[in-house]
């Protein structure tokens, strides 16, 4: 057993009486898209992997938040009206598993690009099966409460469940919490959006008993609502319904007679921004979100053909979170990187998704047409701390850049990248910050990621 006598907990000395629950090569905190990818890739390479997840299932924002779609796989275009997938790797592996089980729709039009909607139950089942087959150990219903440090080197975490508190020791930690939960508990630097302003959370919901054919005949093929639907919402708002967003999105799902609706905009009662890191704000978002769902379901039933006898199947387990903490990394994805469609020699993921900034009564979309940019490896590596890397929406990025880079297809690949970097770090006894991002890129390409040779715009 490792001697922990000289180690400390963030905020105080390590309680020597705590049980050491496990000692592993790789600890993954969070079982969303990034966490599942990281754990599967690391475990399949023969490392001992433990996944800690606060909910009783995998999926994170995709399932608990019911974001419901795999966005970020396809190019946007004004001229090419067929979906062109440019992201592969673990993203494609998970997409294929869902599709094989009937848990994913065909690509659906989303403005100038495409997305695909998934069945949240099948998402969980695919994740369970992949994690189990890879040999990863998973602890659901378990939360991280503190970080174990040896100076500035991460040695593990303290976890808590209904069974009590215990220590998990790990040679490497992947913070895939989405909220940079481990980074924050270690006291490392992070930011919230644009000088504290972050994107609005939302409350997704599923609508059942829909005549989908009649709905689509009226609504059209684009999942972003047409102007005449926005006009109906504005008329209902004037009549007193709580409908803060008039530009809404509605997707068909793999389930018969069902729609997935992204319509709500969650702000405080006084109109202030809600930061769901604060449990008081999170609670307000949840309650107001469920009430808004009833208003939007009512307008759909009263004014949209095919929805006359529809009912709310359910909402997300939690409000859909787009943004919380953003780490300070050794590199930062800039807004200019997106606008210039910049390719990188150390790029670990392609991103064709628009800058999709959710603020106000309608989202602001800045499209990348017939192109994509690449996220550099260093955005996953915190500027301080050894033995830890992040994966997911908390990567180091400017506010608008994150509004593009945060979506599900990319989160799968961030987890893939974090796992590959972890394998290189462990096998060669090298810190994450000393790895060459080109090595990570090369290994990911060998694993099937769509990362071809950089072109002349590569930096």
CA distances from 372 to 106, 320, 391 (A): 22, 25, 20
Same domain, 57 and 180: yes
Structure token digits, residue 223: 């999942």
pLDDT value at residue 453? 55
- CATH number for 190: 3.50.50.60
pLDDT value at residue 195? 79
What are the backbone angles phi and psi of residue 129, rounded to the nearest 5°?
A: -65, -45
Of the residues 299, 315, 331, the one at which a domain ends:
315
Same domain, 219 and 352: no
Instruction: Tell me if 132 sits within 8 A of 140, measured CB to CB.
Output: no
pLDDT value at residue 454? 47
Strand 19-29 with 164-175, pairing: parallel
23 by Cβ neighbours in 10 Å (0-12 / 13-18 / 19+) ranks as middle
Tally of CA atoms within 13 A in the half-sphere of 59 that contains its CB:
26
**Domain range spanning residue 273?**
205-315
Same domain, 79 and 59: yes
Number of domains in the chain: 2
Instruction: Tell me if 166 sits within 8 A of 233, measured CB to CB.
Output: no
Same domain, 218 and 308: yes
Same domain, 328 and 281: no
Q: Which uninterrupted H or E stretch holds 207?
A: strand 205-208
Of the residues 315, 350, 372, the one at which a domain ends:
315
Same domain, 178 and 105: yes
Closest Cα to residue 322, out of 361, 358, 286, 296?
A: 358
Same domain, 14 and 50: yes
SS3 418: helix
Q: Is 197 left (phi over 0), alpha (psi -120 to 50) or beta?
A: beta
Exposed e or buried b per residue across 209-248, where buried means at least 16 C-beta atoms within 10 angstroms of its C-beta: ebebeebbeebeeebbbeeebbebbeebbeeebebbbbbb
Of the residues 315, 342, 376, the one at which a domain ends:
315
Beta bridge partners of 312: 207
pLDDT value at residue 459? 47
Instruction: Name the pTM for this structure.
Output: 0.94
Same domain, 15 and 158: yes
Strand 8-9 with 143-150, pairing: antiparallel
In angstroms, the CA 407 to CA 426 distance is: 28
Beta bridge partners of 197: 194
Q: For residue 368, give every residue at least 6 positions away whose Cβ sits within 8 Å of its Cβ, in sequence order, or none.
A: 76, 338, 341, 351, 352, 353, 354, 404
Closest Cα to residue 107, out of 92, 87, 85, 78?
A: 85
Strand 153-161 with 249-252, pairing: unpaired
Q: Which uninterrupted H or E stretch holds 37?
A: helix 33-44
Same domain, 248 and 285: yes
What are the backbone angles phi and psi of residue 303, rounded to the nearest 5°?
A: -130, -5
111 by Cβ neighbours in 10 Å (0-12 / 13-18 / 19+) ranks as middle
Same domain, 77 and 95: yes
User: Greatest CA span in the chain, whole angstroms?
Assistant: 68
Rg (CA), the chain: 22
Q: Where are the beta strands (DSSP E) in 319-436?
A: 325-327, 347-351, 355-357, 364-366, 373-376, 388-390
pLDDT value at residue 11? 57
pLDDT value at residue 196? 80
Same domain, 123 and 19: yes
pLDDT value at residue 455? 47
Per-residue pLDDT of the chain (459 residues; tens, 9 = 90+): 565 656 776 756 666 678 999 999 999 999 999 999 999 999 999 999 999 999 999 999 999 999 999 999 999 999 988 999 999 999 999 999 999 999 999 999 999 999 999 999 999 999 999 999 999 999 999 999 999 999 999 999 999 999 999 999 999 999 999 999 999 999 999 998 887 888 888 999 999 999 999 999 999 999 999 999 999 999 999 999 999 999 999 999 999 999 999 999 988 888 888 888 899 999 999 999 999 999 999 999 999 999 999 999 999 999 988 989 999 999 999 999 999 999 999 999 999 999 988 775 567 889 999 999 999 999 999 999 999 999 999 999 999 999 999 999 999 999 999 999 999 999 999 999 999 999 999 999 999 999 975 444 444
Q: Is the C-alpha dihedral spanning 93, 97, 99, 100 positive or negative?
A: positive
Same domain, 100 and 185: yes
């Amino acid at each position: 057993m490792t001697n922990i006598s000289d180690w400390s907990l963030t905020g105080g000395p390590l309680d020597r009486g705590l049980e050491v629950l496990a000692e592993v090569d790789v600890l993954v905190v969070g079982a969303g898209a990034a966490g599942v990818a990281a754990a599967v890739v690391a475990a399949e390479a023969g490392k001992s992997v433990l996944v800690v997840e606060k909910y009783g299932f995998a999926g994170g924002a995709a399932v608990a938040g019911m974001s419901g779609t795999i966005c970020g796989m396809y190019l946007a275009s004004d001229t090419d009206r067929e979906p062109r997938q440019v992201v592969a790797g673990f993203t494609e592996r998970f997409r294929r598993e869902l599709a094989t089980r009937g848990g994913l729709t065909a690509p659906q039009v989303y403005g100038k690009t495409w997305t695909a909607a998934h069945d949240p139950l099948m998402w969980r089942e695919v994740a369970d099966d992949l994690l189990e087959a890879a040999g990863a150990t998973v602890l659901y219903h378990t939360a991280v409460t503190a970080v174990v440090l040896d100076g500035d080197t991460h040695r593990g975490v303290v976890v808590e469940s209904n069974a009590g508190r215990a220590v998990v020791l790990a040679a490497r930690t992947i913070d895939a919490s989405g909220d940079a939960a481990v980074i924050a508990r270690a006291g490392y630097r992070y930011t919230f959006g644009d000088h504290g302003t972050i994107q609005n959370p939302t409350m997704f919901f599923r609508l059942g008993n829909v005549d989908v054919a009649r709905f689509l005949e009226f609504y059209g093929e684009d999942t972003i609502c047409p102007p005449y639907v926005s006009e109906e919402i504005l008329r209902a708002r004037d009549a007193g319904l709580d409908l803060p967003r008039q530009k809404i999105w509605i997707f068909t799902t793999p389930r018969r007679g069902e729609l997935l609706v992204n319509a709500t905009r969650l702000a405080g009662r006084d109109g202030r921004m809600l930061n769901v890191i604060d449990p008081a704000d999170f609670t307000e978002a949840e309650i107001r979100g469920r009430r808004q769902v009833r208003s939007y379901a009512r307008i759909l039933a009263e004014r949209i053909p095919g929805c006359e006898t529809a009912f709310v199947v359910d909402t997300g387990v939690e409000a859909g979170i787009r943004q919380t903490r953003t780490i300070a990394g050794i590199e930062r994805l800039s807004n200019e990187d997106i606008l210039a469609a910049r390719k990188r020699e150390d790029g670990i993921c392609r991103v064709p998704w628009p800058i999709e900034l959710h603020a106000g009564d309608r989202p602001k979309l800045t499209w990348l047409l017939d192109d994509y940019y690449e996220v550099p490896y260093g955005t996953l590596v915190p500027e301080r701390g050894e033995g830890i890397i992040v994966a997911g929406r908390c990567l180091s990025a400017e506010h608008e850049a994150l509004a593009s880079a945060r979506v599900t297809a990319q989160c799968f690949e961030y987890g893939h990248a974090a796992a590959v970097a972890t394998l290189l770090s462990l096998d060669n006894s090298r810190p994450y910050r000393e790895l060459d991002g080109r090595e990570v890129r090369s290994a990911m390409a060998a694993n099937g990621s769509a990362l071809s040779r950089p072109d002349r715009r590569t930096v």
